Structure 1
Amino acid sequence: MGILGGCGDDGGSLPATDPVTVTGDEACTGDAGVTTRSCRRGYVSTRCACAPVPLDDVTVRRVPCAELPVNGAPRTPEDDACDAAGGSEPDLTCVTTRPTAGESQLVTLVGVVDLVGAGPDTDGLTVEIDGLDAVGTSSVASSCAETRSVYRSGEVVAERRLGFFVLEEVPTETDLVVHTSGSGGLWRDVWSYGVRIANEDVVAAAPAGACDALAALGPYAVVDVKTISAATYLELPRQGALGITRDDAGLLAGEVRDCAGVRLEHAEVGTWPAPAAMLYDGDDPDELRLRRGHDEGTGLTGNFVAFDLPAGPVDVTAVGRLGSAVTSLGGTRVRVRAGALTTVTLEGLQPQ
């Protein structure tokens, strides 16, 4: 069920052979007068989109740290959003009950610009928050820039420098949309949804031994953001033997997590409108290798990519099987831009 076919009321949709009730679902409120979607056979309407019904014998679970490829360093919950306990049941408390947001404060947002897949050093890219005046530029010359290894089949094939950026006066406890862009034809724009700074993640002052760029800051929070090279953007459809993506459409990539921020394996993801195809990433967080026809949903990375979505609002949702029940893992609405990558983290309901 890894590939999503058409899902809608365009004459090609079929009713499911057995109606499926999604635990933790909520009525669709994406369009005036619409409370559900008409989905094709094998899909279920949930949170404004059509998601594949999970297989009966495949249970959604937290990604165990011990099952991730080591690639030079042990995997940890802090760095890899994995489960140290080893594949326990997801925390879904925020899927049906929206958490209460804390009081917002203005802080400095810092981080590095990481790559989706392969590409050159992330130097000189513009990083900004949609709707705010906060704008910065990534620099590999910064003392806080990082070096990451590029892996292929478990072997290091290159090293990449990730540029460091600083954004002033960014609000905490607020849903943010981060936009990265570059010049010279090397990059495609990336719009990242689901970015949020919790008050508990704010650092009052840089610790001893911190890089120079942090030492001069007041309260700050660290959030790494994503960019994608033009070459990788065009390569992704070829990984799934899909041909070239349309110029008037965009890509949507993301990951599924539980309410504690742990990545989930065996989640099924759907969108409305439906994509040309839905592919799931493999099991190595350091190497992007998309799988066509992944029958068990997300792999150990919890990642997915939806292809050729029309520009405009897109509802995205995820479900998983817990015991005999098909359970909602959350959903949200994003905006896809033509020729650009949109990213999202599905993590239940955001606080408000």
Structure 2
Amino acid sequence: MNAQPYVSFVTWGRNDGYTPGYVERVSRATTTLARQLDDASVPSEIVLVEWNPAPDRPLLLDVLDIPNRSRHVAVRGIIVDPKYHYRLAGAHERGLNGGEASNVGIRRARGRFITPKASDTVFSPEVIERIARQDLDPDTMYRIDRHDIADDAVWQLEGPELLTGLGSAPSTPQSCLQQSPLWQIRDLHTNACGDFTLMAASYWHRLRGHARDRTVLALDVDSLAMHAAAALGARECRWPAACRVYKPVHGNLNNARVTQVWRPWQRRLEAYLLRKFSSEAAHQARMLLDYPRRRVRGVNSVLGPSIERNFVWPATRWARGEKPTPSQPEDWGLAAEKLETRSLCRAAWEEIAAAEPVPAG
């Protein structure tokens, strides 16, 4: 048995009542993934980052109901003290920055391949079957569609019944979007890519994880990672439609939280440029002048950048041949900090790794 996991799934969360039944959903999703990987004999790990634990509630890691032993799957929890969160603008209005939280897990992940995932999502059996082949290409990033499922009764099922129910339930697919030709960026499947972008650990480390955001918003960081990886040479592979990641529908899905904010002068300028010049001129103005900015529901103190400035501008430059420069420092993912780490489920491959002699220095 290999002493290194083949794949790491990195997720994040906190026990703050984010949505009704959140703890139960995270427990069910984590247990389901661990069983899928164990049944498929995939040496693997699930890394759960508890970011900025809520002071008035038990740790999420303490209330999760998951197995504590597995032959092939390790589950680790990493606790990030609130002091790191309160460095960010908007920290008092939102308790989590998903990009920074995932970076903590990615930096410490031990797998040859790594993908972030939301804490309450479930993969179709076909995804695990693909990974179980253990023939992933280190220069390829793998993508699948997310399917949003609103039927709450399905999410109460367990084990094989859950997977069967999700596979037959009505769903809304988040498939690849046709990007505006004005953007002049690579044709990549970035829609809901934060729920599954599987690529070699070496690429994640070259990128230094997700782009730095000094606010709690973490807008576009998943899409930026894909385009930056492509600029460094990674190819995209979209797995067949049967390969899915299922997500429960709730009011905090990203597209339900983000709205554009227009100023009157921006509306006037947009109309003038479209009338007198062209759509291209209007697009260039959006990138240069950073509008329309974006508001994330519940975070009123921070106005996020426009998608044109934050995402399209760098992605366009990278598509033209410019190489990305990491925005994160060398100690990205709080690598220099001693964070509390807990073993929630120990795998047999970990025992092999622990028994191996340390090479003489």
Give TM class, smaller chain: under 0.3
> Which structure: greater strand fraction?
1
> Which structure: greater helix fraction?
2
Structure with bigger gyration radius: 2
